[in-house]
Structure 1
């Protein structure tokens, strides 16, 4: 059953917004490749998008998870943006540079996604989401399948089977302890084997100054899973405390036509951070198999234009070109 949110996400006060912007700038400094940015108008507000890369591959959109933003992909984007333009939006209704002006219900996520693509001049894209971002990515694929070339999900939780109640209660209890000890305990439990960077940690903590108004994941019905017709790759940490990995992978295999799943034994919710090279190699291979209309001799992506109504700039602050192909060759539990 869908629950339509009647509220609009916002920072609790100006001090909270300024603190978040300070931490955001710290994370921005870690982005490893040239990038451009735009604020794209939609009926739900403006969506801030950063993009990097060039090449003939179908574009890729990255959807961050809880307490993260588009910059949370800074460790992954260099690999993912080789051979394709890769976009990292700040999801509307969550802490970031996007500004929500109208409520976003579950059925609205696909509309928001499609309008953001329209504003960027994009037709069909690959979509990759991690953790809570996997839920939003799945909603985009269900509601706008004509815009999604493939769907990659890393540690989706609460989407295919219920997250264990014991894990939910412990997550809430730990998240309510905004102390260094509390955050350290959260990381050790949720993403063992992953070192959370100072900047990631700071952004995640500052995100608690934002009143989130985007709905939580729910378990999809069998009919919804059967209607998920885009190519799907779902990756899980075998020791994840949130995703019920074996049961989730089994239900996907049984209910989603042609889906691919893989469970990494002994790895936690932060499997992408634990096995980054291995996971990204698998993801890139999947994307390349499902690229559309790009032969091996194609080396340049189709230029896409950002409408004049979008505020566009590159990270160096020079005059924008208006193209989505910049002149470059791409926190785990915080996502």
Structure 2
């Protein structure tokens, strides 16, 4: 069992209108905190927990595993945080040391203190955090919006990135479909009945009947209900920006994703980055990280052995 401490967070209506992420009320914050702790207990014990100061707030980071290899940094999806990686960490730790981050401006143990105006701001806080944690470029694995965050970092701060692995990321090689727009808007309405929010969560997760019955589902459901995020509109990098990315890239898209047409965005990615390794897994949903942890670890082990054989 791993104990986890929470920093002083932005909680309550006094934060409304300040355009900074906050928990709407104390009861919701406590609900989220308990879901986070429940999920965290399913992780291997971290060797370090640290709150990294940046110009936009403090970023919660955890180190798992040991060894001298270049670490793998994990970036979760929207309304998620480090406990999302429970099924993935055992396999990934067999490859190399891991650092997980809770995204700034999202529910988690990171605490935003300054408004994020642009995608450059979103890359800046991440670059600052990584610079404090590791002097060298790191390998990054991001799922969903975490994948977009990884690519956005490579666009604005390529010196921080040794390689990129992205799992069904939106707004990288294409936009998102109408279904996802509806889900995104509906899932964060504070007055939405829990049963409807749970149905939306099930839809995103590929049809799991009771996603809120899992630790990860409880965490995401509480994040949707209890946290108010104020992030800039997510923008797709231009073709010129993507073509300029030099870091080795492994992109895996989910054939059953409601985010986008996987084959379409994968085809566009291959045109823009012909040197990248871009795959479509037909049987995967947008919840790909939890559906295929062993396969992802195996793919990543092969990919990293090719781009970083020093490990």
TM-score, normalising length from structure 2?
0.85
For residues 281-322 of structure 1, the C-alpha deviation after alignment (integer angstroms, 9 at most, x for no partner) is: 112211222227x26xxxxxxxxxxxxxxxxxxxxxxxxxxx
Residue 178 (structure 1) shift: 4.5
Counterpart of 2:226 in structure 1 is 209
**Is the aligned partner of 1:181 residue 2:195?**
yes
Q: What is the aligned-residue RMSD (CA, Å)?
A: 2.1
Give distance in 2, aligned partners of 1:31 and 1:54.
15
Give distance in 2, aligned partners of 1:187 and 1:206.
11
For residues 99-158 of structure 1, the C-alpha deviation after alignment (integer angstroms, 9 at most, x for no partner) is: 111122310122212211222243210011101111111111111111100011101123
Counterpart of 2:8 in structure 1 is none
Give distance in 2, aligned partners of 1:213 and 1:173.
16
**Is the aligned partner of 1:10 residue 2:18?**
no
Counterpart of 1:274 in structure 2 is 291
Number of positions where the alignment pairs a residue of Structure 1 with one of Structure 2: 289
Residue 22 (structure 1) shift: 1.8
> What SS does structure 1 have at the residue aligned with 2:39?
helix
For residues 162-202 of structure 1, the C-alpha deviation after alignment (integer angstroms, 9 at most, x for no partner) is: 21124422553466484453244224422226573522122
> Using a 3 Å threshold, how does the CA distance of structure 1 residues 127 and 216 change in structure 2: closer, same or farther?
farther
Give distance in 2, aligned partners of 1:10 and 1:24.
16
Moved more, 232-241 or 19-28: 19-28
Counterpart of 2:148 in structure 1 is 135
- Report which structure shows greater RCO (CA 8 Å, sep ≥6): 1
**Is the aligned partner of 1:199 residue 2:215?**
yes
Give distance in 2, aligned partners of 1:272 and 1:213.
26
Residue 21 (structure 1) shift: 1.5
Residue 30 (structure 1) shift: 1.0
**Is the aligned partner of 1:21 residue 2:37?**
no
CA contact (8 A) 2:186 2:192 kept: no
> What SS does structure 2 have at the residue aligned with 1:107?
helix
Counterpart of 1:220 in structure 2 is 237
For residues 223-273 of structure 1, the C-alpha deviation after alignment (integer angstroms, 9 at most, x for no partner) is: 111111111111011121113211111111000241111101132212232
CA contact (8 A) 2:40 2:82 kept: no
**Is the aligned partner of 1:117 residue 2:93?**
no
Give distance in 1, aligned partners of 2:108 and 2:36.
8
CA contact (8 A) 1:8 1:102 kept: yes
TM-score, normalising length from structure 1?
0.79
> Using a 3 Å threshold, how does the CA distance of structure 1 residues 92 and 167 change in structure 2: closer, same or farther?
closer
> What SS does structure 1 have at the residue aligned with 2:119?
coil
> What SS does structure 2 have at the residue aligned with 1:169?
helix
Moved more, 131-140 or 217-226: 217-226
Give distance in 1, aligned partners of 2:272 and 2:54.
33
Give distance in 2, aligned partners of 1:156 and 1:122.
27
Give distance in 2, aligned partners of 1:270 and 1:43.
32
CA contact (8 A) 2:198 2:221 kept: no
Give distance in 1, aligned partners of 2:243 and 2:29.
41
Structure (1/2) with the larger helix percentage: 2
**Is the aligned partner of 1:290 residue 2:307?**
yes
Unaligned 5+ runs, structure 2: 1-17
